[in-house]
């Protein structure tokens, strides 16, 4: 007999307050997005609102495909790196726009101990487990449901991850809802429930370029973080167990705006050498569980900005250091070529490898509890 998740469904109904969008069918456009072998036919969902904003998502990997926002002159451009079909998403290995799970980021050695039992996960990043394993949640076709309202259209993607998938314990039911808000913001609501204790850490791996996708690198763009602390990593890109204050560590202090490329080019810190740039977890100031500012990205050349708000405790800042290798020869949208640093990922999440490091709070989902988090990416113009 198939187990139901009444508390999970009740949670979605209560917190997302979404109703089927039947009055304004033009707010959500659906079109074929190609087929992926072993998955089936994918669909692209494009949400639009009265202010002229639009954002697109596909059920393959619950992936964020596009986001059109205006610059200071009122010109709308697509600022999310992506691809023209589900097949292309399946070919690249950069996790572009995808929901990463069951555990985003790295788990050292692909091993962890939970309730006295050691689990061996799939290893797919050197000797580490990364973004859910060999076949993470980014490589599945999710069930889609159009929802939201005329003013704020939405699409909800859901799937069931069976016990043992990539080595994880417990059957997990998960839903990710993307809402295009009236002001053009993209709000992401995550919810999950499990029938056994299991680690969970969900994020979206969108890469942003405020000059427009396919226009070159983000090295000339400016970043500001609402964070006083970050986690140093070792040569295997795993946090070494310490938490460093950014004060006095110029390459990592983004409490005011700094140009991304100038810090990377300096290479005056071993931490930057390890990853060829930024691939570090920052602890977000404020109370985890409350929606609060995390980051602001600015392109001085056109005045376009985005701010990130999240309920998560931390955020991985990845400056696209290995994009050329991860994408290979796969052409981006409209034939764009994405090289290293073509986009920056601002991945809200829990601390990587927390389950193996007692000083950090491991995010363990247990039966009867609902995992939930919210992140909002909000467009803006420099004043």
Token pair belonging to 238? 């795993």
Q: 341 an active-site residue? A: no
DSSP letter at 166 equals G
Among candidate residues 213, 280, 347, 350, the one labeled active-site is 347
How many angstroms separate the Cα of 375 from the Cα of each of 208, 262, 309, 378? 15, 28, 6, 10
Residues 6+ apart with CB under 8 A from 30: 43, 44, 45, 46, 146
Catalytic annotation on 347? yes
Rama region for 142: left / alpha / beta (φ>0; ψ in -120 to 50; rest): beta
First-to-last alpha carbon distance for the chain, in angstroms, is 58
Structure tokens at 64: 């964020």
Q: How far is C-alpha 28 from the chain's CA centre?
A: 22
Find the catalytic residue in 205, 280, 341, 350: 205
User: How many whole angstroms from its chain centre is CA 43?
Assistant: 20
Q: Which residues contact 328 (CB under 8 A, 6 or more apart)?
A: 91, 92, 93
CA pair distance 194, 178, nearest whole angstrom: 22
| CA trace torsion 271, 277, 281, 282 (10° rounding) | 90
CB neighbours (10 Å) of residue 138?
23
Q: Which residue in the block uniquely carries the two structure tokens 């969008």?
A: 21
Task: Just list the catalytic residues.
Answer: 205, 347
């Amino acid at each position: 007999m198939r187990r139901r998740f009444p508390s999970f469904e009740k949670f979605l109904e209560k917190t997302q307050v979404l109703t089927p969008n039947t009055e304004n069918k033009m707010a959500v456009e659906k079109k074929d997005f190609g087929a992926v072998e072993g998955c089936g036919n994918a669909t692209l969902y494009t949400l639009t609102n009265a202010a002229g904003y639009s954002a697109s998502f596909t059920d393959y990997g619950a992936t964020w495909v596009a986001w059109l926002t205006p610059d200071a002159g009122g010109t709308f451009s697509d600022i999310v790196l992506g691809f023209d079909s589900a097949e292309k998403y399946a070919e690249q290995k950069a996790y572009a726009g995808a929901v990463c799970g069951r555990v985003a980021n790295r788990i050292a050695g692909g091993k962890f101990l939970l309730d006295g039992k050691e689990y061996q996960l799939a290893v797919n990043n050197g000797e580490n487990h990364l973004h859910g394993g060999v076949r993470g949640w980014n490589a599945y076709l999710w069930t889609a449901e159009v929802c939201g309202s005329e003013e704020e259209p939405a699409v909800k993607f859901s799937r069931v991850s069976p016990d043992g998938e990539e080595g994880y314990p417990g059957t997990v039911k998960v839903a990710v809802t993307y809402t295009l808000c009236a002001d053009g913001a993209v709000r992401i609501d995550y919810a999950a429930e499990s029938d056994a204790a299991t680690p969970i850490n969900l994020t979206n791996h969108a890469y942003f370029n405020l000059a427009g996708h396919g226009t070159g690198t983000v090295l000339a763009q400016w970043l500001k973080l609402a964070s006083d602390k970050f986690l140093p990593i070792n040569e295997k890109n795993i946090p070494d167990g310490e938490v460093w204050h950014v004060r006095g560590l110029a390459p990592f202090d983004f409490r005011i705006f700094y140009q991304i490329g100038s810090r990377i080019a300096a290479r005056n810190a071993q931490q930057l050498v390890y990853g060829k740039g930024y691939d570090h977890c920052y602890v977000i100031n404020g109370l985890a569980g409350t929606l609060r500012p995390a980051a602001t990205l600015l392109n001085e050349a056109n005045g376009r900005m985005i701010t990130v708000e999240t309920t998560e405790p931390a955020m991985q800042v990845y400056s696209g250091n290995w994009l050329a290798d991860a994408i290979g020869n796969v052409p981006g949208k409209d034939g764009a070529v994405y090289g290293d640093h073509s986009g920056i990922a601002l991945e809200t999440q829990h601390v990587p490898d927390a389950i193996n490091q007692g000083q950090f709070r491991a995010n363990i989902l247990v039966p009867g509890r609902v995992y939930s988090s919210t992140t909002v990416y909000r467009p803006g113009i420099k004043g």
